[in-house]
Chains A and B, each alone.
Chain A
């Protein structure tokens, strides 16, 4: 049961940050009133963050990864999550094989 001290503190920090985001809405429910562009920008946070995290893998690794990301995106608009992941993984394996 190996637990590295730095890893432990990082996980505890992540847990505190995550819990605070979960209860913040309870504390600010009646005060947080976003409208117009600010609301649209706030709602864009999840896709903006998720895409930023994967961009180096999807766009700057090699053409098989970029092509597989494009195929995955088309699949994601039509299929449930698990099928999307399966198609993404299968296409990257196939494209790497021919690369």
Chain B
């Protein structure tokens, strides 16, 4: 293994430790919503985006609200566009295939690590694939385990697990905290979503809350925030 690959693995190791219980939690909640272990494995393999998967499972019902889930997936993952645009110039040494395969593995964590590395040296394909493409192994494995165990444990609300992903999302939002603008975003989004959920019902609260939050950020922004 070359040095870049080893450094990629070293950088991603703590993320793997943090991702395993979250993956297990995803599997357990998905199983409680009626998904089979095979379906959970398929979603974690093909989608491989924690935030979007948790959002989809929260909306999950039978019959499946397909349009609402796809729209929620698009909204939650829209940030990838900016992240990819920022990382693209730093991967000019990649071949076409390395870029378009490599960017399948784009996550908040691997992106942040690669951006940090780009400030010091070149991001090579060996570094990126060792850092970004090893995470699915942990994510898929832990979500399968969670789905298998979750189905045995039964109702997740008995031990508060139904609240775990509410707590996870609050934790993720704190990671995006930019002070005043974020406070305005959270207040507008949360208030609007709760109101629309009580009146128009799910899944419209996601759309309404998201747009209220984005509008609040637009209005609250001052030149120094950009």
User: Which A residues have a C-beta under 8 Å from some C-beta of B?
Assistant: 1-4, 6-15, 17-19, 21-26, 28-29, 32, 34-60, 65, 68-69, 72-73, 76-77, 80-82, 84-85, 87-90, 92-93, 96
Contact = CB atoms under 8 A, between A and B. Distances in A.
A54 B205 CA distance: 10
Contacts of A29: 84-85, 88-89
A50 B190 CA distance: 9
Contacts of B55: 49-50, 53
Contacts of B58: 53-54, 57
Interface residues of B, number: 103
Ranked 6 nearest A-B pairs via Cβ:
A25-B84, A88-B167, A52-B209, A48-B213, A44-B217, A55-B193
Given A14-B47, A18-B73, A53-B58, A24 B81 contact: yes
Interface string B183-226: 00110111111100110001001111111111111101101011
Contact of A9 (B66, B99, B160, B173): B66
Interface of B: 18, 21-22, 25, 35-39, 42-43, 46-49, 51-56, 58-59, 63-64, 66, 69-70, 72-89, 99-100, 103-104, 106, 159-161, 163-178, 181-182, 185-186, 188-194, 197-198, 202, 205-218, 220-221, 223, 225-226
B36 A3 contact: yes
